[in-house]
């Protein structure tokens, strides 16, 4: 019975008299505030309008650059590699150094050939490249 009395305060179809009318109005407004906040919070937590990824500043910088292709040269310990973007794909070309050396990109290995472009699994120009020579030595190539 006490449950019915309490619940009736939220029921807009139940008539209330005297100060109970104010209490029922308080319940109605409270319920609406709670529902509004919960709905807004649910949508925020679900990320309905959220695109969490912000582009890297470097990507923004190159997006603003209207040259046809992007190129950078990396060098270190006698090796020179040119990375360029062509038709939305990235390639690497070994300009100087021993053929057969590999670039390590995350967990992928890309074997280089002197003067030939090979596909590179990157989305933007890296800050540096890691090259493994034929003896297994790891060489860091910086941008020049």
Binding residues for another protein (CB under 8 A)? 1-3, 5-7, 9-10, 18-54, 56-58, 61, 64-65
Find tokens 């319940």 and name the residue: 27
In the complex, minimum distance from the CB of residue 98 to another protein, in angstroms, rounded to a whole number: 32
Which residue number, 34 or 96, has a Cβ lying nearer to another protein?
A: 34
Which residue number, 22 or 114, has a Cβ lying nearer to another protein?
A: 22
In the complex, minimum distance from the CB of residue 131 to another protein, in angstroms, rounded to a whole number: 24
Which residue number, 40 or 118, has a Cβ lying nearer to another protein?
A: 40
In the complex, minimum distance from the CB of residue 59 to another protein, in angstroms, rounded to a whole number: 10
Which residue number, 104 or 143, has a Cβ lying nearer to another protein?
A: 143
In the complex, minimum distance from the CB of residue 104 to another protein, in angstroms, rounded to a whole number: 24
Report the distance separating Cα 141 and Cα 76, nearest Å: 5
């Amino acid at each position: 019975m006490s449950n019915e009395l309490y619940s009736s305060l939220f029921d807009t179809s139940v008539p209330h008299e005297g100060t109970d009318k104010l209490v029922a109005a308080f319940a109605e407004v409270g319920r609406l505030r709670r529902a509004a906040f919960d709905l807004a919070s649910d949508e925020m937590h679900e990320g309905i309008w959220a695109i969490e990824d912000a582009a890297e500043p470097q990507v923004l910088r190159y997006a603003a650059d209207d040259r046809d292709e992007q190129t950078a040269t990396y060098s270190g310990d006698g090796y020179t590699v040119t990375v360029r973007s062509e038709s939305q794909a990235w390639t690497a070309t070994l300009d100087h150094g021993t053929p057969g050396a590999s670039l390590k990109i995350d967990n992928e290995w890309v074997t280089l050939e002197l003067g030939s472009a090979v596909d590179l699994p990157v989305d933007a120009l890296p800050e540096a490249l890691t090259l493994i020579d034929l003896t297994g030595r790891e060489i860091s190539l910086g941008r020049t």
